[in-house]
DNA sequence: CTTGGAAAGTCAACATCGCTGACATAACTT
DNA sequence: AAGTTATGTCAGCGATGTTGACTTTCCAAG
């Protein structure tokens, strides 16, 4: 940015040292990111996997098991174990599809919505504090870098969520 | 909110919807962040925990087990299992402390450095691509938000690494 | 020199959450 | 009727985290 080559930017932000710092920042920040929900969930019968399922069912009500499998990137056996407990304990309702009766459309019950809110409140509170501390311009950059870091297929999933969720 | 309160910024970036998108961005980006090393490690006898240990030993050669425990935030039993295999297979050397012979100072062997390089090359390649795509200003914002998201104690650990590693 | 406590290592047991493989059921599609 | 898809389930395994209890080593303080 200070000089004028064709690819004219200052590339100091691409040094190995800068990249390593970015890697470590991701590591430590992700710990913070999951810390609050983890604390809330410990003691309940649930874990991080339940949180993720509840989050995305909240985000896309009526989504199918297949959809959720794609978004979460786990095996159906792994997801099934989680969904089963959520359904048994009345947090999630699985409605048989009208058009295709093989499909299960997933919805949060009132109880499920309550858990989602508690978890999401905690996570958003941390996010909000970080956003506020860093400012809107930093937030825009944060989102840009994270999007660029995703696998293309996951980026599409993510962007699909953005549209439907807006 | 496009108006002029004393703390007069546009606060649209703090809506729940924006925060949720940030949360999902972290989730999907972290998947990408760990994908390449995970792929490399699968098939070897090692996993993500080994990667983390190797990374931070590389970053702070001669660090003690206690130090590493603090940075990684796991129990000594969990770390010990990882370190034992790394030492057995000749990737890490544990030197008894000179001043305090109870301490083990950890170093990567040549073989350990090789693995570190392979993993780190892959992870940095993704990071570099993301940084390049987003640009230096976005990177600065990315780092600011991540730092603000860390637990204070972890932020100190992170900043300590920055200094010593520069 | 003895004792207390810190650092490290080890053993056993367990929980969560990934995985594979195999199989069953139901229902849509051709 | 046959093939495919979506889902569910059982059994078993692996990686990585946890607690609790215990030992060994060794510095440091009395």
**Whether pLDDT at B43 is above 90:** no
Separation of CA B54 and C1' C11 in angstroms? 25
Q: Where does the pLDDT of residue B162 fall: very low under 50, low under 70, confident under 90, or very high at 90 and above?
A: low
Residue B140: how many other CB atoms lie within 10 Å: 17
Q: What pLDDT, on the 0 to 100 scale, is given for residue B12?
A: 82
Q: What pLDDT, on the 0 to 100 scale, is given for residue B9?
A: 62
Separation of CA B52 and C1' D16 in angstroms? 12
Compute the distance between CA of residue B18 and CA of residue A162 in angstroms, rounded to an integer.
9
CA–chain centroid gap for A106, Å, is: 17
Tell me which residues of chain B, numbers 36 to 95, contact chain A at a CB-CB cutoff of 8 Å.
Answer: 52, 55, 59, 73
Encode pLDDT of B97-124 as tens digits: 888 888 899 999 999 999 999 999 999 9
Q: What pLDDT, on the 0 to 100 scale, is given for residue B42?
A: 87
CB distance from B14 to chain A under 8 Å?
yes
Question: Is B143 a domain residue?
Answer: no
Shortest CB distance from A138 goes to which of B73, B124, B144? B144
Q: Which class for A53: exposed (0-12), middle (13-18), buried (19 or more C-beta within 10 A)?
A: buried
Compute the distance between CA of residue B56 and CA of residue A46 in angstroms, rounded to an integer.
31
Beta-bridge partners for A95? A105
Question: Is B124 a domain residue?
Answer: yes
Contacts of B59 in chain A (CB under 8 A): 20, 24
Question: Is B31 a domain residue?
Answer: yes
CA–chain centroid gap for A69, Å, is: 14
Q: What pLDDT, on the 0 to 100 scale, is given for residue B89?
A: 92
The enclosing domain of A87 has a CATH number of 1.10.10.10
* 10-residue averages of pLDDT along chain A (166 residues): 53 91 97 95 90 96 94 95 94 90 93 96 97 97 98 92 57
Question: Is A43 a domain residue?
Answer: yes
Is A28's CB within 8 Å of B137's CB?
no
Separation of CA A89 and C1' C19 in angstroms? 25
Shortest CB distance from B151 goes to which of A19, A35, A143? A35
Total domains in chain B come to 1
Q: What pLDDT, on the 0 to 100 scale, is given for residue B97?
A: 84
The domain of A52 spans 36-123
């Amino acid at each position: 940015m200070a000089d004028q080559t064709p690819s004219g930017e200052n590339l100091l932000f691409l040094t190995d040292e800068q990249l390593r710092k970015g890697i470590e920042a991701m590591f430590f920040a992700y710990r913070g990111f999951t810390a609050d929900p983890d604390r809330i969930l410990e003691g309940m019968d649930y874990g991080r996997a339940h949180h993720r399922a509840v989050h995305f069912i909240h985000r896309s009500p009526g989504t199918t098991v297949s959809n959720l499998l794609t978004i979460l990137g786990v095996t159906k056996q792994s997801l099934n174990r989680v969904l089963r407990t959520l359904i048994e304990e009345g947090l999630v309702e699985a409605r048989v599809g009208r058009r295709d009766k093989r499909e299960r459309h997933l919805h949060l019950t009132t109880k499920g919505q309550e858990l989602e809110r508690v978890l999401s409140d905690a996570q958003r509170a941390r996010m909000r504090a970080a956003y506020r501390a860093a400012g809107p311009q930093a937030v825009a950059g944060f989102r840009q870098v994270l999007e660029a870091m995703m696998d293309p297929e996951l980026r599409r999933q993510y962007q699909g969520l953005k549209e439907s969720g807006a």
